[in-house]
Chain A
Amino acid sequence: MSGGVEIAVVVAEIEQAARNVKRFRFAAKDGGSLPHFAAGSHVVVLMRDGERTIRNAYSLIDRAEDGSSYRIGVLRTPNSRGGSKFMHERVSVGDELRITMPVNLFPLFHPGRKHLLIAGGIGVTPIYAMADELQRRGALYEIHYAVRDEAHGAFIDEMRARHGDRLKLYRRDLEEILAVDQILPGQPLGTHLYVCGPEGMIEAVLEGGLEAGWPKEHLHAERFQTPPTGEPFALRLAKAGLTCEVRGDQSMLEALEEAGFDPPSLCRGGACGQCAVDVLEADGELIHNDHYLSAAERASGEKIMLCVSRLKGRELVLDL
């Protein structure tokens, strides 16, 4: 189910948005309008690759004014196990895909007096939508966008045209560094920070925020996390009476889907909490890779997130 309702879409346009980023426009297959979404939302794109279905989350960049289409931006990931490579190499205009209903795990906090949007690389996709929404609402905002160089940074020109000097670009080829300790001091009470980018950058920005004295409630992040690989193990569902193997290059969620089982999930990136299940027995060590469970919940060993976490051991028995 992966978020419930699925929508059939047709690829209406593909642009090369940067050296390794493509932007896709999806139109509703039935020609109708696609659901409204708030900036920061993502959809899961389902790609049929022969026998298997690849499911990847992609942030929504925008929705056409008449509601007829959505756009997403996809980075071609170097050691892709499948999805981004599929989007880049196998998808052409006119193709049909399925997407899930938009889900927002990275919403703007609208009562905020000011908004600092911080993007690194492909993390610009939700930030793009957020900047547009803030501009529409006449809110106070700044965009700080770090790229490798102009050729690798997606949407730079259009963001510059739209947001003028509210956009500050940091080019690594010019040794320009996005330093939070220069951005954060003196920001007025009621400011909110939103960061999306590589894991290391997110951690540095969040830590920089705390270091600058900000309360954690004003620091918002979205991680484009992919399921980490590991060693294979056996998975047994106590109620369903199903046993399957989780390969090293697969998450439990993917293994269950492959076995025809359909556990609830939304973000597939360890953030939303939808896929949490109770652990009945673990013959080995639980490797938690999510950002959802508290330290205490992890320590208790009672719950695990199907989308990103694994077992280092022989068999895991779940209350499913």
Chain B
Amino acid sequence: MNTDVMDSRPTYGGLRLDPRAKSHLVVVDGDGAPAVLDAFAGAEDELNRTTILCAHEDVAAGGLERLCALRAARLQLSGSSEDLLTEFERVLDGADMSVRIYVAGRESFIGKVVASAALRGVVPDSVVAERRGGVSRRVQCVHCKHIDEGVTASPYRCSGCGQHLLVRDHFSRRLAAFQGVRIDAEIPGEVPPAMELAS
């Protein structure tokens, strides 16, 4: 069955070009550029119908030049990650079903891209995703519902309510976010040292 209603962690199969798509819409952040190069370099015919969206500040050093050198039909640079998502949504609103959506970069960024496509009726699994760069998650505090972006360690301090939260492996597809649960509920103030998140 293809309609999985259970919350499950997305798997990132890697950016594989789908030659049957009529056009390709690629969104990149962080260390995502090399993944795009791996998938698209040399695919001249495909690049002629490819749009790449990325944010200046967010693409790791050297990545931008190499993305430019790909010579995709269109390369759109946004000023910030925020603007990039707005631009992505604008493109989606005018898109038809023959486009394939690709996203490469940090996990939390992938989550946001998939979530905004899903809001437009796109099945999350049809978005071709590759995670690059360190693990950084979008986490929702189960207590105050605040969402922190780019959480890289657990426990972390919720910037909504200030509590120390353990990042649980439970992923909500609807929110494209992991869950953060208060870690010192038993003995307030007893917070173990933060550890970097592993994939």
Contact = CB atoms under 8 A, between A and B. Distances in A.
A35 B182 CA distance: 40
Contacts of B118: 111
B161 interface: no
Contacts, number: 68
B96 A187 contact: yes
Contacts of A184: 97
Interface residues of A, number: 28
A184 B22 CA distance: 12
A109 B22 contact: no
Contact of B121 (A105, A192, A214): A192
A109 B3 contact: yes
Interface stretch (B31-39, B40-48, B103-111, B122-130): B122-130
A18 to B, nearest CB: 31
Given A105-B1, A109-B3, A213 B121 contact: no
State the main secondary structure of chain B at its contact with A.
loop
Interface stretch (A165-173, A215-223, A255-263, A307-315): A215-223
A107 B121 contact: no
A89 to B, nearest CB: 35
Given A189-B121, A191-B121, A213 B98 contact: yes
18 contacts: A111-B121, A113-B121, A184-B97, A185-B96, A188-B95, A189-B95, A189-B97, A189-B121, A189-B122, A190-B97, A213-B23, A213-B97, A213-B99, A213-B100, A214-B97, A215-B100, A217-B2, A217-B123
Given A113-B120, A213-B21, 17 more contacts: A109-B121, A111-B121, A185-B98, A186-B96, A189-B96, A190-B97, A190-B120, A191-B97, A211-B20, A212-B97, A213-B97, A213-B100, A215-B100, A215-B126, A217-B123, A218-B126, A272-B1
